[in-house]
Amino acid sequence: MTLFRGTVLDTPDDPFTGASLRSEADAGLLVRNGVLLERGPFAQVRQQHPDEDVVDLTGGAILPGLVDTHVHFPQVRAIGGLGMPLLEWLERCALPEEARLSDPTYAASVAAEFLGGLVQAGTTTALVFGAHFAPAVEVLFEQAAVVGLRVTSGLVVSDRILRDDLLTTPDRAYDEGLALAQRWHGTGRSRYAVTPRFSLSCGKDLLVACESLLRDVPGCWFTSHINENVREIEAVRQLFGVDTYLDTYENHGLLGSHSVLAHNVHPSDGELALLAARGASIAHCPTSNSALGSGLFPLRRHMTSGVHVALGSDVGAGTGFSLLKEGLQAYFVQQMLGEWGLPLEPRHLLHLATAAGARALGLGDQVGDLSVGKRFDALWLRPRTGTTLDVALRHAAGPDDALAKVFALGTSGDVAGVWVDGEALRTTATSPPPSDPPQFRHRQDI
Ligand SMILES: [Zn+2]
């Protein structure tokens, strides 16, 4: 057994229904076989268990492992393509890079960078948009299993509109998806997600194939995009001849409590009611929405409609892996909405980045907070001495104030340790040798 010692912040109860931040200074968390067995004042737990190994995480804060409900594996190197709306960004930035993952060796190096980015950010669970190529998705699952992250992912499928080398057929999408699901769904910490890219790039026959796969792999997940960009929405409605974007998924039996749809920046009231009725979740990706100018997310309308919402980084339209930054941007967006916005406090941001994500992924009974009985998925946020976050935390007025400073100032660089099932994951990227400083190409080299 291992006894973790430190200051713990988490949100086991939903702040959106009035619950407070739970904080415990100098707590002791006793972990055996990955499960939290006891939690209380360190001195008290230590007295009961004087011989157990202690992992001293005093200073900074221990948070539940972060849960990213929407992030694209093939887009690590596409981060930072600013200045374009969605469809232009896809064509110019994302899709050329995604096509390179047809080479499994290239995909393997991207997978390592991708998983490293998640771990460094303190993300322990993720719903990952895979690649358009089955061997690349295979590589992602293989590497995720080695790293130890909880990953739900799948083959991304499309059969129109995108560049030809990213297209598949309904039969091939089903066969390749089934083969991947048979190997990885329920294997270790991995699960499979049926993943049509978005209705714009998926014909009806392909969505029928997705429905078949969803039915034939019990317990698997469904993820896609919805209502991100007004031009995209209009094109989808015309292509399918439907009233709402959501109808394209509903009409193919793809909506349920295992469904997580990214964005939903421009929903109708009817779509919100249907999402709530189906128990589907929305992955809110605020830096992506801001970077692409997609719009300001109507969180209040989601909440009043009873639609469950969690956070996603949406790398690479999102500007990085850190859900601390996504939390801050979610706060900004609600502020910008004025009277239409839902003012967020630090406890809401932590909840969106942890327990809400766990619930969206059906893992709320296992992870998302650090209660007795949960798995010990956690991160240690410990800024270097003298950094602005360090100064801010040392002068914080209390736990809520400290958490506000974490979201205002925290970065992946402040994550000093990450655990899944009580096992420490490597947090630092492999350092280049001194003779190999970071290089970027100048225009004449491209
Ligand atoms: Zn996305």
Distance 66 CA to ligand 1 centre (A): 18
User: Looking at the predicted structure, is the pLDDT value of residue 288 above 50?
Assistant: yes
User: From ligand 1's centre to the CA of 165, what distance in Å?
Assistant: 19
What is the structure's pLDDT at 441? 63
- pLDDT band (50, 70, 90) for residue 426: confident
Tell me, in angstroms, the distance from the centre of ligand 1 to residue 239's CA. 21
Residue 446 pLDDT: 41
| The predicted structure's pLDDT at residue 440 | 61
- Only one residue has tokens 């719009």, namely 295
Distance CA 25, CA 9 (A): 9
pLDDT in tens, 127-138: 999 999 999 999
CA of 313 to the centre of ligand 1 (A): 9
| pLDDT tens per residue across span 339-370 | 999 999 999 999 999 999 999 999 999 999 99
pLDDT tens digits, 103-147: 999 999 999 999 999 999 999 999 999 999 999 999 999 999 999
102: left (phi over 0), alpha (psi -120 to 50) or beta: alpha
Q: What is the 229 CA–ligand 1 centroid distance (Å)?
A: 12
Q: What is the mean pLDDT of the chain?
A: 95
Cα(298) to centroid of ligand 1, in Å?
Answer: 18
Query: In this predicted structure, what is the pLDDT of residue 323?
Result: 98
Residue labelled with tokens 């992955």: 283
Share of the chain above pLDDT 90, in %: 95
Q: How far is the CA of 263 from the centre of ligand 1 (A)?
A: 8
What angle is formed at CA 347 by the lines to CA 314 and CA 300, rounded to 5 degrees? 65
Answer whether residue 445 shows pLDDT above 50.
Answer: no
Comparing 61-65, 91-95, 428-432, the range with the smallest average pLDDT is 428-432
| 336 alpha carbon – ligand 1 mean position (Å) | 23
Is the pLDDT at 179 greater than 70? The verdict is yes
How many angstroms separate the alpha carbon of residue 222 from the centre of ligand 1? 14
Ligand 1 centroid vs 118 CA: distance in angstroms?
A: 16
Q: For 72-93, b where at least 16 C-beta lie within 10 A, e where not — what string?
A: bbbbbebbebeebebbebbeeb
Query: pTM for the full model?
Result: 0.96
